[in-house]
Amino acid sequence: MMPQGPNGEIYELPEQVTATHVMFTNDRLLDELGLEFPRTHQELLAQGPAIREAGLIPIAMDNGGGWQMQSTFLSALVERTGGMEWYDRVLAGDNASFEDREFAAALDIIQELYRNDMFSPGMNTADYGRALTDFVNERAVYFIDGGWRVNALVAELTEDQKGHVSLRTYPDVPNQRGVSGSTAMVQGTGYGMNSRLEGAAADAAWEWIWFYSGPVGSEIRQRHGAVPAYRIDLPGDADPMVTKLTGFINDTPAGWVLDSVLGQESMGLLQGDLQEMMLGSRTPRQVAQRFERFVAANER
């Protein structure tokens, strides 16, 4: 947990922690194609022709809502291309800007992947869920989405499939300044209690909060794919995908999710511009300039 007070205090513990970037990987398809998980962005690009020649999608993603590319991919890329020291300074406007090459480099990676047909066809008009279906039906080698998708994978993958699906993150990028293998994480929401409650009403509210957020509720939610903010033992009968997600959350370094540190209007602008960039009507430089101007005027 990041400190919440000026002297390192932690005043509040969220109910769970969410990784918004996971690169789900079908390891059996990789083996059948004679490939290994790529170490770098360039190695991933080089896999594209062989994957497409086999009639498969390299990276399943849907972005019809616009938020998916920002939350599940760009946010993680920004930490890779800029590093957390720069990331923190750019959010505060401390001699750093979204017009810097660090942010543009993250946009360049997305544009290069799109131009090289690495993503799902028609991703910018696809409803949320199509990419998941392609991955479950083994029409895609990789699938980028949030850790919450484990809930669906628990139900939709066969036991055999669960054995050859791994949870990874995007490989190293050119001129990387961030941490290899990092993701983007955000603290989950929680329940609050009205400070004016008294007597039986206060007791009932606290009983609910303690049940849901404490050990009993956390164990129940963990069984269904949530990762509590504090460590509890996994039940012996935990689904393999839940076990993998828990290990991923515990062991993977992380940076900020943009939509957890910037406002909704800023995200609306960026998410629309990302779609336009992939479709060719804006350049990465134009996206970065527009985003910086809006954040500088409205957020800082």
Domain range list for the chain: 17-188+239-294
pLDDT, tens digit, 9 for 90 and up, residues 66-105: 999 999 999 999 999 999 999 999 999 999 999 999 999 9
Encoded tokens for 197: 């409650």
**Nearest CA to 109 among 291, 277, 289?**
277
Residue 36's pLDDT is 98
- Hey, CA dihedral for 174, 177, 182, 185, is it positive or negative? negative
3-state secondary structure of 228: strand
Residue 220's pLDDT is 86
pLDDT, tens digit, 9 for 90 and up, residues 16-56: 888 999 999 999 999 999 999 999 999 999 999 999 999 99
Contact of 130 with 231, CB cutoff 8 Å: no
b (16+ CB within 10 A) / e for 91-114: beeeebbbbbebbbbbbbbbbebb
State the Rg of the chain over Cα: 20
Residue 1's pLDDT is 65
Q: Where are the alpha helices (DSSP H) in the chain?
A: 27-32, 41-53, 67-69, 75-92, 101-115, 130-136, 150-156, 159-163, 199-213, 215-223, 240-251, 258-261, 264-279, 284-298
Look at residue 203 and tell me whether its pLDDT is greater than 70: yes
Residue 191's pLDDT is 78
Look at residue 271 and tell me whether its pLDDT is greater than 90: yes
Q: Which residue has the tokens 């999608």?
A: 57
Average the pLDDT over 182-199 and give the result: 87
**In this structure, which amino acid lies at residue 117?**
D
Look at residue 3 and tell me whether its pLDDT is greater than 80: no
Q: Which fold has domain 17-188+239-294?
A: D-Maltodextrin-Binding Protein; domain 2 (3.40.190)
